[in-house]
Chain A
């Protein structure tokens, strides 16, 4: 993976000192509250309901084992011994003190990490496919491009006070695992009919209050012009995005207001002035960055492979885990392993310090000392030799992280909700606990197949509920927490926004309603039909009927 040179290190070190001075001046009463708020947000520090929350950047989800160990150490020293992986592939600490943040940042800088631009109205952490560079269906490795975007967007002087936050996702496979259609900019790396590599550029996607699927603004972009083009999009947005209402300030609102063609024409006009100029990436620079993402020293297939059938027979749990939590690798003899952060005892995405140290050790032992975080709040060991899978599984069991539920109902996305977040209107963690308690029969979950359950505690949609096969949005009504269901969303190639099922559901009825929805699916599905396919085929009526019965009809 990418390793800092003196240049990167200097930048991060100086940024730590800059923030240390800002914190000192704030505590001395020299920076007004509203101004410090923006400064701390640009360094990932929120003030939450109970304590500050620090969001640490994990650029495009890639980490060295030493970095995870450093996060573990930070959680022990400055927090309560655990951290939380977010849907932007970052890590959040829920209990640091404001005064300690400069020291945390200094500790992070020692392992080439930071919290720069993990919040605020600026360009956020670029996200990508957690299987980049290793998946069997990959067209081109996205990581070098993500790194180039990371560098260009870091402390960008012109784009630090945008109308609103700005998120970029990059996908380079036939299946989109980066939710690129619901980002401010989605980049699809692909090969055109002439066989040339380039980007399709989508703009104006996003979730939040106004969920929108991104629209293509450029069909094919020559890779060397990636930064000139991004620069043009950002400049048009910075100058023209709405600033009078923060709920109307995202680029999607601008694109929808003037239309994708008019927006594209503005970008094109600006781009004509910069294309081919100073931000054009020299081939040597692209090669230099690609050099950091070379394949590791894989064993020859004969050595890496192993006949697992006898082990599967002896350990059926291992067989289930192998089927559910590992994926095809492009290198013969290797598998991609997903370490699910979705057990019954912890909130989705949470890891404690023992687990962090444990996973770091497993990455050292089995996966070239690297690991990845995913936008659905799991971890990935990307390069595990088949012959090591059983040993890895045993050790994951010791850590309580071998639950074979990836892709099932209980592999849910969940924002922290009202338990932590000052924006939330409703609790979400109680729902994940209830779901785990109610739907604990693994054979039932396997029979249901792939179901993405995504839960947000407020309309800002950090839990991506709009693109859940089943989405749940917590709202407050008359002092009570109630939950709106949406069905039929997806963030994959067939991206779609879920539609509201009907009136809100009370907290203690949420799992009952999920049960009804699943029952209808099981009754109506045709052979091999997934949950999403069934909904798309049969529509909402049978689900509404089961959930609301006659009451809904008379009320409507």
Chain B
């Protein structure tokens, strides 16, 4: 599966963690510093644990599950600066929004063309909301 990270096609990157956040909580740091989370996880614990994690992969079991957007937004708001990787049903028509809420890595669905996906990040160049990249409406800048 192709991976886009920091707006480039990545050829050399850590694998998406298999350990789920709930299991990681039980096992502690012995289980590494990368976890797989999704909308069903306890967000307060995830936010509290974020400083111990270098990568949080947020899984979109279906593209319609929008909880991951708020999770990423809240992680960035709390100052998390590790990798937030979108995994699962990740396709070009959503990466721009994902990028804006704070995802910086995208593990693409198999049918996705990485070059085409890259062109979709920043497709709409003006925004009415503050977002992870600091861009926002004129009055907020």
Contact = CB atoms under 8 A, between A and B. Distances in A.
Given A14-B123, A158-B73, A273-B77, A151 B137 contact: yes
A235 B101 contact: no
Given A162-B66, A235-B70, A238-B66, A7 B139 contact: no
A160 B69 contact: yes
B139 A282 contact: yes
Contacts of A282: 139
Contacts of A235: 70, 73-74
A288 B137 CA distance: 13
A272 interface: no
Interface in A292-313: none
Contacts of B71: 239
A31 B109 CA distance: 12
Nearest to B127: A155
A7 B69 contact: no
Q: Give the bracket for the number of chain B residues in contact with chain A.
A: 35 or more
Nearest to A11: B126
B94 to A, nearest CB: 8
Contact of A239 (B70, B126, B128, B136): B70
A22 B70 contact: no
A536 interface: no
B97 interface: yes
A41 B71 CA distance: 24
Contact of B137 (A7, A10, A121, A157): A7
A238 B124 contact: no
Contacts of A11: 124, 126-128
Interface in B84-141: 91, 93, 96-98, 100-101, 111, 123-131, 136-140
Q: Give the bracket for the number of chain A residues in contact with chain B.
A: 35 or more
Interface in A20-44: 22, 30-31, 35, 38-39
A359 B123 CA distance: 38
A410 to B, nearest CB: 41
A158 B126 contact: no
Contacts of A153: 128
A49 interface: no
Interface string B39-83: 100010000000000000000000111110111011001000000
Contacts of B137: 7, 151
A35 B91 contact: yes
Nearest to A17: B123
Contacts of A273: 77
Q: Give the interface centre of B39, B91, B124 by most chain A CB atoms within 10 Å.
A: B124
B128 A155 contact: yes
A39 B97 contact: no
B16 to A, nearest CB: 21
Top 5 closest pairs, chain A to chain B, by CB: A161-B66, A157-B97, A157-B100, A285-B139, A151-B128
6 contacts: A11-B128, A35-B91, A151-B128, A158-B73, A243-B65, A273-B77
Interface of A: 7, 10-11, 14-15, 18, 22, 30-31, 35, 38-39, 121, 151-163, 235, 238-239, 243, 273, 278-279, 282, 284-285, 288
Given A31-B93, A161-B65, 13 more contacts: A10-B125, A10-B126, A14-B125, A15-B124, A35-B63, A35-B93, A121-B66, A155-B127, A157-B96, A158-B73, A160-B97, A238-B69, A239-B67
Interface of B: 39, 43, 63-67, 69-71, 73-74, 77, 91, 93, 96-98, 100-101, 111, 123-131, 136-140
